[in-house]
Structure 1
Amino acid sequence: MAQLLGHTRTRVTSRHALITQDTLNFLPAVGLVKSRLATLLSSGLGSKFFSGLLLFEADGAATLPESGTETFLYVLAGGCTVDAGPAQVKRIAPGGYLYIPAHHSCILSGAEAETQILIVQKAYRALPDIFSPRMIVGRGGQVQPQPYQGDPDTRIQPFLPDEPGFDMAVALFTFQPGASFPGAGVHGAEHGLFFLQGQGICRLDDSWYPVKDGDAVWAAPLCPQWFVATGKTPAQFLLFRESNRMPEVV
Protein backbone atom coordinates (compact mmCIF):
# COMPACT_ATOMS: atom_id res chain seq x y z
CA MET A 1 0.00 0.00 0.00
CA ALA A 2 1.36 3.41 -0.95
CA GLN A 3 2.30 5.54 2.03
CA LEU A 4 -0.02 8.48 2.61
CA LEU A 5 1.32 11.69 1.04
CA GLY A 6 4.76 10.12 0.53
CA HIS A 7 5.47 9.77 4.25
CA THR A 8 8.80 8.15 5.15
CA ARG A 9 11.17 7.97 8.11
CA THR A 10 14.08 8.85 5.80
CA ARG A 11 15.72 12.14 6.80
CA VAL A 12 18.71 13.86 5.22
CA THR A 13 20.45 16.91 6.68
CA SER A 14 23.86 18.49 6.15
CA ARG A 15 25.27 16.68 9.23
CA HIS A 16 23.38 13.40 9.47
CA ALA A 17 21.06 11.10 7.59
CA LEU A 18 18.66 8.21 8.18
CA ILE A 19 17.95 6.12 5.07
CA THR A 20 15.11 3.60 5.28
CA GLN A 21 14.28 0.62 3.07
CA ASP A 22 11.07 2.12 1.66
CA THR A 23 13.03 4.84 -0.17
CA LEU A 24 15.70 2.63 -1.77
CA ASN A 25 16.01 2.29 -5.54
CA PHE A 26 17.89 -0.75 -6.89
CA LEU A 27 19.45 0.19 -10.22
CA PRO A 28 21.79 -1.44 -12.76
CA ALA A 29 25.45 -0.38 -12.84
CA VAL A 30 28.60 -1.16 -14.80
CA GLY A 31 30.09 -4.45 -13.62
CA LEU A 32 26.79 -5.89 -12.40
CA VAL A 33 25.20 -8.91 -14.11
CA LYS A 34 21.75 -10.03 -12.97
CA SER A 35 22.23 -7.78 -9.97
CA ARG A 36 21.40 -4.22 -8.94
CA LEU A 37 22.70 -1.63 -6.50
CA ALA A 38 20.88 0.70 -4.08
CA THR A 39 22.86 3.61 -2.63
CA LEU A 40 22.77 4.20 1.13
CA LEU A 41 25.60 6.70 1.73
CA SER A 42 27.70 8.63 -0.76
CA SER A 43 29.71 11.78 -1.36
CA GLY A 44 26.40 13.52 -2.05
CA LEU A 45 25.95 13.60 1.73
CA GLY A 46 29.48 14.89 2.26
CA SER A 47 30.73 11.43 3.25
CA LYS A 48 34.14 9.96 2.46
CA PHE A 49 32.41 6.58 2.33
CA PHE A 50 30.18 4.94 -0.21
CA SER A 51 27.83 2.26 1.04
CA GLY A 52 25.03 0.41 -0.67
CA LEU A 53 23.10 -2.81 -0.98
CA LEU A 54 23.80 -5.30 -3.76
CA LEU A 55 20.78 -7.45 -4.68
CA PHE A 56 21.39 -10.52 -6.86
CA GLU A 57 19.20 -12.76 -8.96
CA ALA A 58 20.09 -16.45 -9.27
CA ASP A 59 23.60 -16.79 -10.79
CA GLY A 60 24.10 -13.04 -10.54
CA ALA A 61 27.60 -11.57 -10.53
CA ALA A 62 29.49 -8.36 -9.78
CA THR A 63 33.00 -7.26 -10.74
CA LEU A 64 34.89 -4.88 -8.46
CA PRO A 65 37.88 -3.66 -10.51
CA GLU A 66 41.31 -2.81 -9.15
CA SER A 67 41.47 0.81 -7.95
CA GLY A 68 42.62 2.98 -5.07
CA THR A 69 39.40 2.11 -3.24
CA GLU A 70 39.20 -0.39 -0.38
CA THR A 71 36.02 -2.46 -0.01
CA PHE A 72 34.22 -4.23 2.83
CA LEU A 73 31.43 -6.71 2.01
CA TYR A 74 28.96 -8.27 4.48
CA VAL A 75 26.47 -10.93 3.41
CA LEU A 76 22.96 -10.21 4.69
CA ALA A 77 21.13 -13.03 2.87
CA GLY A 78 21.88 -15.79 0.38
CA GLY A 79 25.47 -16.37 -0.67
CA CYS A 80 27.95 -16.23 -3.53
CA THR A 81 31.47 -17.20 -4.58
CA VAL A 82 34.27 -14.68 -4.15
CA ASP A 83 37.28 -14.76 -6.49
CA ALA A 84 39.95 -12.34 -5.28
CA GLY A 85 42.96 -13.93 -6.98
CA PRO A 86 45.05 -17.11 -6.67
CA ALA A 87 44.16 -19.14 -3.57
CA GLN A 88 41.50 -16.55 -2.74
CA VAL A 89 38.34 -18.26 -4.04
CA LYS A 90 35.78 -18.75 -1.28
CA ARG A 91 32.05 -19.15 -0.77
CA ILE A 92 30.54 -16.63 1.63
CA ALA A 93 27.16 -17.01 3.37
CA PRO A 94 25.02 -14.86 5.70
CA GLY A 95 27.18 -13.35 8.44
CA GLY A 96 30.29 -13.74 6.29
CA TYR A 97 32.43 -10.73 5.44
CA LEU A 98 35.30 -9.83 3.16
CA TYR A 99 37.79 -6.96 3.22
CA ILE A 100 39.44 -6.20 -0.14
CA PRO A 101 42.45 -3.84 0.05
CA ALA A 102 42.95 -1.05 -2.45
CA HIS A 103 44.60 -2.06 -5.74
CA HIS A 104 43.02 -5.53 -5.62
CA SER A 105 40.17 -6.72 -7.81
CA CYS A 106 37.35 -9.07 -6.87
CA ILE A 107 34.61 -10.98 -8.69
CA LEU A 108 31.40 -12.12 -6.99
CA SER A 109 29.63 -14.89 -8.91
CA GLY A 110 27.22 -17.80 -8.63
CA ALA A 111 24.90 -15.87 -6.35
CA GLU A 112 21.81 -17.51 -4.92
CA ALA A 113 18.49 -15.87 -5.73
CA GLU A 114 17.75 -12.87 -3.47
CA THR A 115 21.33 -12.68 -2.21
CA GLN A 116 21.86 -9.31 -0.52
CA ILE A 117 25.27 -7.89 0.35
CA LEU A 118 26.18 -4.67 2.13
CA ILE A 119 29.08 -2.93 0.39
CA VAL A 120 31.22 -0.23 2.05
CA GLN A 121 33.99 1.57 0.13
CA LYS A 122 36.49 4.34 0.81
CA ALA A 123 39.58 5.77 -0.87
CA TYR A 124 42.55 4.24 0.95
CA ARG A 125 44.91 6.66 2.74
CA ALA A 126 48.39 5.14 2.54
CA LEU A 127 51.14 6.06 5.01
CA PRO A 128 54.89 6.14 4.26
CA ASP A 129 56.78 3.03 5.40
CA ILE A 130 53.56 1.28 6.48
CA PHE A 131 52.64 -2.01 4.82
CA SER A 132 49.33 -2.04 2.98
CA PRO A 133 46.56 -4.06 4.65
CA ARG A 134 45.94 -7.67 3.73
CA MET A 135 42.76 -9.30 2.48
CA ILE A 136 40.51 -10.66 5.22
CA VAL A 137 37.70 -13.23 4.97
CA GLY A 138 35.71 -14.10 8.08
CA ARG A 139 32.40 -14.74 9.79
CA GLY A 140 30.83 -12.77 12.60
CA GLY A 141 30.51 -15.92 14.70
CA GLN A 142 34.29 -16.37 14.67
CA VAL A 143 34.90 -13.05 16.46
CA GLN A 144 34.55 -13.15 20.24
CA PRO A 145 32.14 -10.43 21.52
CA GLN A 146 33.60 -8.14 24.16
CA PRO A 147 31.78 -5.83 26.60
CA TYR A 148 31.80 -2.28 25.26
CA GLN A 149 33.19 0.18 27.82
CA GLY A 150 32.67 -2.46 30.51
CA ASP A 151 28.94 -2.96 29.87
CA PRO A 152 28.08 -6.68 29.41
CA ASP A 153 24.72 -5.73 27.84
CA THR A 154 26.48 -3.87 25.01
CA ARG A 155 29.03 -5.94 23.11
CA ILE A 156 31.38 -5.24 20.23
CA GLN A 157 32.96 -7.56 17.66
CA PRO A 158 35.73 -5.86 15.63
CA PHE A 159 36.00 -7.32 12.13
CA LEU A 160 39.22 -5.57 11.03
CA PRO A 161 42.57 -5.43 12.88
CA ASP A 162 43.59 -2.29 14.75
CA GLU A 163 46.87 -1.99 12.84
CA PRO A 164 48.50 1.08 11.21
CA GLY A 165 48.01 -0.33 7.72
CA PHE A 166 44.22 -0.39 8.14
CA ASP A 167 42.54 3.00 7.85
CA MET A 168 39.00 1.60 8.15
CA ALA A 169 37.33 0.11 11.22
CA VAL A 170 34.26 -2.12 10.97
CA ALA A 171 32.57 -3.63 14.02
CA LEU A 172 29.34 -5.39 14.96
CA PHE A 173 27.53 -3.96 18.00
CA THR A 174 24.90 -5.95 19.91
CA PHE A 175 22.62 -4.27 22.47
CA GLN A 176 20.37 -6.20 24.81
CA PRO A 177 16.86 -4.70 25.17
CA GLY A 178 17.16 -1.51 27.21
CA ALA A 179 20.94 -1.25 26.78
CA SER A 180 22.39 2.00 25.50
CA PHE A 181 25.59 3.92 24.99
CA PRO A 182 26.52 5.54 28.32
CA GLY A 183 26.16 9.03 26.87
CA ALA A 184 26.14 11.02 23.66
CA GLY A 185 29.40 10.73 21.75
CA VAL A 186 31.15 13.30 19.58
CA HIS A 187 33.80 11.86 17.27
CA GLY A 188 36.40 13.36 14.97
CA ALA A 189 35.63 10.79 12.27
CA GLU A 190 32.31 10.33 10.51
CA HIS A 191 30.33 7.19 11.33
CA GLY A 192 28.15 4.94 9.19
CA LEU A 193 25.73 2.37 10.61
CA PHE A 194 23.60 -0.37 9.10
CA PHE A 195 21.01 -2.03 11.34
CA LEU A 196 20.84 -5.83 11.07
CA GLN A 197 18.14 -6.65 13.62
CA GLY A 198 15.98 -5.24 16.38
CA GLN A 199 14.96 -1.66 16.94
CA GLY A 200 15.83 1.38 19.00
CA ILE A 201 16.14 5.14 19.22
CA CYS A 202 19.10 6.91 17.66
CA ARG A 203 20.08 10.47 18.53
CA LEU A 204 21.76 12.49 15.76
CA ASP A 205 22.48 16.15 16.56
CA ASP A 206 19.33 17.38 18.31
CA SER A 207 16.96 14.86 16.71
CA TRP A 208 15.86 11.44 18.01
CA TYR A 209 14.87 8.84 15.40
CA PRO A 210 13.19 5.44 15.73
CA VAL A 211 15.38 2.94 13.86
CA LYS A 212 15.07 -0.74 12.98
CA ASP A 213 16.62 -3.51 10.90
CA GLY A 214 17.40 -2.42 7.35
CA ASP A 215 17.98 1.24 8.26
CA ALA A 216 21.22 3.05 7.42
CA VAL A 217 22.57 6.00 9.42
CA TRP A 218 25.28 8.54 8.67
CA ALA A 219 26.78 10.98 11.19
CA ALA A 220 29.23 13.67 10.13
CA PRO A 221 32.36 14.40 12.20
CA LEU A 222 31.50 16.04 15.55
CA CYS A 223 27.80 15.17 15.20
CA PRO A 224 26.48 14.15 18.67
CA GLN A 225 25.14 10.60 18.52
CA TRP A 226 23.62 8.08 20.92
CA PHE A 227 21.61 4.85 20.77
CA VAL A 228 19.31 2.82 23.01
CA ALA A 229 17.80 -0.58 22.13
CA THR A 230 14.04 -0.88 22.55
CA GLY A 231 11.67 -3.78 21.96
CA LYS A 232 11.99 -7.34 23.25
CA THR A 233 14.90 -8.63 21.15
CA PRO A 234 18.55 -7.54 20.92
CA ALA A 235 19.46 -4.81 18.45
CA GLN A 236 22.47 -5.18 16.16
CA PHE A 237 24.20 -2.84 13.78
CA LEU A 238 27.41 -2.71 11.78
CA LEU A 239 29.45 0.44 12.37
CA PHE A 240 32.16 1.68 10.03
CA ARG A 241 34.49 4.65 10.34
CA GLU A 242 37.97 5.84 9.43
CA SER A 243 40.70 4.74 11.87
CA ASN A 244 44.44 5.07 12.50
CA ARG A 245 44.67 8.36 10.62
CA MET A 246 44.91 11.98 11.71
CA PRO A 247 42.11 14.23 10.44
CA GLU A 248 42.93 15.80 7.09
CA VAL A 249 43.70 19.53 7.19
CA VAL A 250 42.24 21.56 4.32
Structure 2
Amino acid sequence: MKHLGATRSALENAHAVITPETFVRTALAEWPGSAVVLHIAPVIGTRARFVQFTAQMPAGATARESAHGYQRFAFVLSGEVEAQIEGTGDGEKRTLTDYDYVYLPAGVAHTLTARSDARVAVFEKPYEAVEGVVPPGVYWGNERENPGYAFEGDDHLIARKLLPDEVPFDFMVSTMSFAPGATLPYTEVHYMEHGLLMLEGEGLYKLQQTYYPVTTGDVIWMGAHCPQWYGALGRDWSKYLLYKDMNRHPLAMLGCGL
Protein backbone atom coordinates (compact mmCIF):
# COMPACT_ATOMS: atom_id res chain seq x y z
CA MET A 1 0.00 0.00 0.00
CA LYS A 2 3.00 2.34 0.11
CA HIS A 3 2.26 3.41 -3.48
CA LEU A 4 -0.99 4.84 -2.09
CA GLY A 5 0.86 6.79 0.60
CA ALA A 6 0.32 4.37 3.49
CA THR A 7 3.14 4.36 6.05
CA ARG A 8 3.86 3.67 9.71
CA SER A 9 6.19 6.69 9.82
CA ALA A 10 5.09 9.57 12.03
CA LEU A 11 6.54 12.88 13.23
CA GLU A 12 5.41 14.74 16.34
CA ASN A 13 6.95 17.59 18.30
CA ALA A 14 8.96 15.31 20.62
CA HIS A 15 9.29 12.04 18.71
CA ALA A 16 9.48 10.44 15.29
CA VAL A 17 9.02 6.91 13.97
CA ILE A 18 10.79 6.47 10.64
CA THR A 19 10.17 3.22 8.79
CA PRO A 20 12.08 1.71 5.84
CA GLU A 21 9.38 2.30 3.21
CA THR A 22 9.95 6.05 3.69
CA PHE A 23 13.77 6.06 3.65
CA VAL A 24 15.34 8.42 1.11
CA ARG A 25 18.98 7.91 0.12
CA THR A 26 21.36 10.85 -0.17
CA ALA A 27 25.11 11.48 -0.21
CA LEU A 28 27.64 12.88 2.26
CA ALA A 29 31.01 14.27 1.22
CA GLU A 30 32.82 12.14 3.81
CA TRP A 31 31.15 8.96 2.45
CA PRO A 32 31.81 9.05 -1.32
CA GLY A 33 30.15 6.24 -3.23
CA SER A 34 27.86 5.27 -0.34
CA ALA A 35 24.10 5.72 -0.18
CA VAL A 36 23.31 7.43 3.11
CA VAL A 37 19.93 7.52 4.86
CA LEU A 38 19.96 10.47 7.28
CA HIS A 39 17.44 9.47 9.90
CA ILE A 40 17.88 12.09 12.63
CA ALA A 41 19.40 15.57 12.42
CA PRO A 42 19.08 18.90 14.29
CA VAL A 43 16.29 20.06 11.97
CA ILE A 44 13.88 17.42 13.33
CA GLY A 45 11.17 18.15 15.90
CA THR A 46 12.46 20.08 18.90
CA ARG A 47 16.00 20.14 17.47
CA ALA A 48 18.04 16.98 18.04
CA ARG A 49 21.59 17.49 19.28
CA PHE A 50 23.06 14.60 17.28
CA VAL A 51 22.93 12.93 13.88
CA GLN A 52 21.98 9.31 13.16
CA PHE A 53 22.33 7.73 9.74
CA THR A 54 22.81 4.43 7.96
CA ALA A 55 25.51 4.15 5.30
CA GLN A 56 25.08 1.54 2.58
CA MET A 57 28.66 0.99 1.40
CA PRO A 58 29.37 -0.95 -1.80
CA ALA A 59 32.55 -3.03 -1.78
CA GLY A 60 35.55 -0.72 -2.12
CA ALA A 61 33.79 2.41 -0.85
CA THR A 62 35.60 4.47 1.76
CA ALA A 63 34.66 7.03 4.38
CA ARG A 64 36.75 9.58 6.23
CA GLU A 65 36.38 11.38 9.54
CA SER A 66 33.82 14.15 9.85
CA ALA A 67 34.93 17.31 8.06
CA HIS A 68 33.54 19.26 11.01
CA GLY A 69 35.47 17.37 13.67
CA TYR A 70 32.50 15.51 15.15
CA GLN A 71 32.97 12.35 17.18
CA ARG A 72 31.61 9.21 15.54
CA PHE A 73 30.26 5.81 16.61
CA ALA A 74 30.13 3.26 13.76
CA PHE A 75 28.29 -0.06 14.20
CA VAL A 76 28.48 -2.65 11.43
CA LEU A 77 25.06 -4.11 10.67
CA SER A 78 26.25 -6.40 7.88
CA GLY A 79 29.29 -6.96 5.70
CA GLU A 80 32.97 -6.33 6.34
CA VAL A 81 34.55 -2.93 7.00
CA GLU A 82 38.21 -2.16 7.65
CA ALA A 83 38.82 0.68 10.10
CA GLN A 84 42.22 2.41 9.98
CA ILE A 85 43.23 5.01 12.56
CA GLU A 86 45.73 7.22 10.77
CA GLY A 87 49.13 7.96 12.25
CA THR A 88 49.08 5.00 14.64
CA GLY A 89 50.48 2.20 12.46
CA ASP A 90 48.97 -1.19 11.69
CA GLY A 91 48.17 -1.75 15.37
CA GLU A 92 45.11 0.45 14.90
CA LYS A 93 43.76 -1.25 11.79
CA ARG A 94 40.94 -3.71 12.38
CA THR A 95 38.39 -5.53 10.26
CA LEU A 96 34.86 -5.13 11.56
CA THR A 97 32.05 -7.57 10.80
CA ASP A 98 28.45 -7.95 12.00
CA TYR A 99 27.83 -6.19 15.35
CA ASP A 100 31.46 -5.01 15.64
CA TYR A 101 31.76 -1.30 16.38
CA VAL A 102 34.28 1.49 16.91
CA TYR A 103 34.08 4.82 18.73
CA LEU A 104 36.15 7.50 16.99
CA PRO A 105 36.90 10.62 19.04
CA ALA A 106 36.45 14.13 17.68
CA GLY A 107 39.23 15.13 15.32
CA VAL A 108 40.82 11.67 15.02
CA ALA A 109 41.76 11.02 11.39
CA HIS A 110 40.54 7.65 10.17
CA THR A 111 39.36 5.70 7.16
CA LEU A 112 36.56 3.16 6.90
CA THR A 113 36.82 0.88 3.86
CA ALA A 114 34.15 -1.62 2.81
CA ARG A 115 35.81 -4.97 2.02
CA SER A 116 32.40 -6.27 0.92
CA ASP A 117 28.99 -4.67 0.50
CA ALA A 118 28.25 -3.36 3.99
CA ARG A 119 25.69 -1.47 6.05
CA VAL A 120 26.88 0.71 8.91
CA ALA A 121 24.80 2.49 11.56
CA VAL A 122 26.41 5.78 12.59
CA PHE A 123 25.90 8.32 15.38
CA GLU A 124 27.75 11.66 15.32
CA LYS A 125 27.75 14.70 17.60
CA PRO A 126 30.04 17.57 18.65
CA TYR A 127 32.15 16.70 21.68
CA GLU A 128 31.25 18.50 24.92
CA ALA A 129 34.61 19.09 26.60
CA VAL A 130 34.87 19.41 30.39
CA GLU A 131 37.68 21.35 32.01
CA GLY A 132 40.19 18.99 33.60
CA VAL A 133 38.76 15.88 31.92
CA VAL A 134 40.87 14.13 29.29
CA PRO A 135 38.75 13.26 26.22
CA PRO A 136 38.29 9.54 25.48
CA GLY A 137 40.38 7.59 23.00
CA VAL A 138 39.41 5.18 20.24
CA TYR A 139 37.28 2.33 21.59
CA TRP A 140 36.52 -1.02 19.88
CA GLY A 141 34.02 -3.73 20.71
CA ASN A 142 31.54 -6.39 19.61
CA GLU A 143 27.97 -6.29 20.87
CA ARG A 144 27.53 -10.05 20.82
CA GLU A 145 30.57 -10.58 23.04
CA ASN A 146 29.13 -8.30 25.73
CA PRO A 147 27.33 -10.41 28.38
CA GLY A 148 25.17 -7.50 29.49
CA TYR A 149 23.13 -7.39 32.67
CA ALA A 150 19.53 -7.86 33.75
CA PHE A 151 17.90 -4.44 33.47
CA GLU A 152 16.16 -3.51 36.72
CA GLY A 153 16.74 -7.12 37.82
CA ASP A 154 14.64 -8.61 34.99
CA ASP A 155 16.51 -11.48 33.30
CA HIS A 156 14.09 -11.28 30.36
CA LEU A 157 15.42 -7.79 29.60
CA ILE A 158 19.18 -7.60 28.95
CA ALA A 159 21.04 -4.29 28.63
CA ARG A 160 24.51 -4.03 27.09
CA LYS A 161 26.54 -0.83 27.39
CA LEU A 162 28.81 -0.57 24.36
CA LEU A 163 30.95 2.30 25.68
CA PRO A 164 32.56 2.84 29.08
CA ASP A 165 30.21 4.49 31.57
CA GLU A 166 32.80 7.16 32.37
CA VAL A 167 32.80 10.98 32.53
CA PRO A 168 35.03 11.55 29.46
CA PHE A 169 32.26 10.13 27.24
CA ASP A 170 29.38 12.54 26.61
CA PHE A 171 27.08 9.93 25.11
CA MET A 172 26.29 6.25 25.53
CA VAL A 173 25.34 3.65 22.96
CA SER A 174 23.78 0.45 24.24
CA THR A 175 21.51 -2.37 23.17
CA MET A 176 18.37 -3.57 24.91
CA SER A 177 17.23 -7.17 24.33
CA PHE A 178 13.69 -8.28 25.24
CA ALA A 179 12.30 -11.79 25.54
CA PRO A 180 8.85 -12.19 23.95
CA GLY A 181 6.38 -10.46 26.25
CA ALA A 182 9.04 -8.54 28.19
CA THR A 183 8.58 -4.80 28.65
CA LEU A 184 10.31 -1.78 30.08
CA PRO A 185 9.28 -1.69 33.75
CA TYR A 186 7.66 1.73 33.52
CA THR A 187 7.16 4.69 31.20
CA GLU A 188 10.34 6.77 31.23
CA VAL A 189 10.41 10.57 31.09
CA HIS A 190 13.86 12.22 31.14
CA TYR A 191 15.84 15.07 29.63
CA MET A 192 18.21 12.80 27.67
CA GLU A 193 17.20 12.29 24.07
CA HIS A 194 17.45 9.02 22.17
CA GLY A 195 18.18 7.74 18.70
CA LEU A 196 17.07 4.13 18.23
CA LEU A 197 17.44 1.48 15.53
CA MET A 198 15.47 -1.76 15.73
CA LEU A 199 18.03 -4.53 15.15
CA GLU A 200 15.86 -7.60 15.64
CA GLY A 201 12.28 -8.59 16.35
CA GLU A 202 9.16 -6.52 16.84
CA GLY A 203 7.02 -4.88 19.48
CA LEU A 204 5.02 -1.85 20.54
CA TYR A 205 6.64 1.49 21.35
CA LYS A 206 4.66 4.07 23.32
CA LEU A 207 5.81 7.61 22.51
CA GLN A 208 3.97 10.43 24.25
CA GLN A 209 0.38 9.14 24.11
CA THR A 210 0.60 6.98 20.98
CA TYR A 211 1.44 3.27 20.63
CA TYR A 212 3.39 2.37 17.48
CA PRO A 213 4.03 -1.13 16.08
CA VAL A 214 7.76 -1.34 15.31
CA THR A 215 9.95 -3.98 13.69
CA THR A 216 13.49 -4.64 12.44
CA GLY A 217 14.91 -1.68 10.51
CA ASP A 218 12.70 1.00 12.05
CA VAL A 219 14.28 4.16 13.49
CA ILE A 220 12.93 6.21 16.39
CA TRP A 221 13.86 9.66 17.64
CA MET A 222 12.84 10.55 21.20
CA GLY A 223 13.29 14.16 22.26
CA ALA A 224 13.88 15.43 25.76
CA HIS A 225 11.09 14.50 28.21
CA CYS A 226 9.21 12.40 25.64
CA PRO A 227 7.25 9.73 27.58
CA GLN A 228 8.52 6.37 26.30
CA TRP A 229 7.87 2.66 26.88
CA TYR A 230 8.47 -0.54 24.91
CA GLY A 231 6.97 -4.04 24.98
CA ALA A 232 8.20 -6.99 22.90
CA LEU A 233 5.79 -9.00 20.76
CA GLY A 234 6.14 -12.09 18.57
CA ARG A 235 7.89 -15.41 19.20
CA ASP A 236 11.52 -14.23 19.18
CA TRP A 237 13.65 -11.88 21.22
CA SER A 238 13.76 -8.28 20.03
CA LYS A 239 16.72 -5.94 20.26
CA TYR A 240 17.39 -2.29 19.57
CA LEU A 241 20.48 -0.09 19.34
CA LEU A 242 20.09 3.03 21.49
CA TYR A 243 21.92 6.37 21.67
CA LYS A 244 21.58 8.81 24.56
CA ASP A 245 23.50 11.86 25.74
CA MET A 246 25.03 11.64 29.23
CA ASN A 247 27.53 13.07 31.72
CA ARG A 248 26.96 16.71 30.81
CA HIS A 249 24.87 19.47 32.41
CA PRO A 250 21.87 20.21 30.17
CA LEU A 251 22.57 23.96 30.09
CA ALA A 252 26.12 23.35 28.86
CA MET A 253 25.10 21.14 25.93
CA LEU A 254 25.54 22.45 22.41
CA GLY A 255 22.29 23.01 20.57
CA CYS A 256 20.22 23.64 23.70
CA GLY A 257 18.94 26.87 22.14
CA LEU A 258 19.93 29.19 25.01
TM-score, with length taken from structure 2 = 0.93
Contact 1:66 1:102 (C-alpha < 8 Å) held by counterparts: no
Q: Percent identity?
A: 28
The separation in 2 between residues aligned to 1:54 and 1:16, in whole angstroms, is 22
The separation in 2 between residues aligned to 1:110 and 1:192, in whole angstroms, is 24
| 2:209 aligns with one of 201, 206, 211 | 206
1:192 to partner: Cα distance: 1.3
Match of 2:97 in 1: 93
1:65 to partner: Cα distance: 3.7
Is 1:84–2:85 an aligned residue pair?
yes
Deviations 1:95-128 (A, max 9, x none): 1011001111221114312x10000011110000
1:129 to partner: Cα distance: 0.2
Match of 2:70 in 1: 69
TM-score, with length taken from structure 1 = 0.96
1:145 to partner: Cα distance: 1.5
Deviations 1:129-154 (A, max 9, x none): 00101110110122122000110000
The separation in 2 between residues aligned to 1:106 and 1:160, in whole angstroms, is 19
Runs of 4+ more than 2 Å apart: 31-34, 65-68
| Gapped regions of structure 2 (runs ≥ 5) | 253-257
| Gapped regions of structure 1 (runs ≥ 5) | none
The RMSD of aligned alpha carbons is 1.3
Count matched residues.
248
| 2:178 aligns with one of 172, 175, 181 | 175
Match of 2:230 in 1: 227
1:4 to partner: Cα distance: 4.5
The separation in 1 between residues aligned to 2:109 and 2:208, in whole angstroms, is 38
| 1:109 aligns with one of 105, 109, 113 | 113
Look up the equivalent residue of 1:173 and give its one-letter code.
M
Match of 1:27 in 2: 26
The separation in 2 between residues aligned to 1:79 and 1:6, in whole angstroms, is 35
